[in-house]
Amino acid sequence: MTTTAADRWHLPSPVDAARAAAGAGQAGQADRLARIAALDGARMADGLAFLAGYAPGVFDAVLTATEPCLDDLFPSGDDALEPYCTQCGAKAGVFVARGSDWRHYTGDPEDRTAAPFETDHAPVIGWRPAGGRPGFVAI
């Protein structure tokens, strides 16, 4: 059974989707790239909106992987960046032992004094030149 969402999107059944993926290979990859190149802006926006709802994890991975390289913005040697909260200016990091969410923190990861703290808002992540040691935390 197939489904059409809002008379715009065709959702193949899991069997049909698996059949299409199984026949992919190199030819399938070339065909997908050609189809992407032929999309106009409205169709590309529709496709990305659909992907965001249909496979949000894939959508997030695609956007992250295709973001511009920030290293191009700074001369060599000045390119160390650290994440921070653009709303309040606090350092921000991911404490893996507490999940995969960004958290505000104080202290220094190099000294093992980094500690997350609660605020009245979720971190809004931006990147700034690192002051001293980089501030990204993964504990």
Per cent of the chain over pLDDT 90 is 29
Least confident of 5-14, 27-36, 102-111, 126-135: 5-14
Pairing status of strand 125-129 against strand 81-85: antiparallel
The model carries a pTM of 0.41
Confidence at residue 136, expressed as pLDDT on a 0 to 100 scale: 47
φ, ψ for residue 110, nearest 5 deg: -65, -35
Both tokens of 42, joined, read 């409205």
Phi-psi region for residue 135, left (φ > 0), alpha (ψ -120 to 50) or beta? alpha
The 10s digit of each residue's pLDDT in 48-91 is 999 898 888 888 888 888 877 655 565 555 567 789 999 999 99
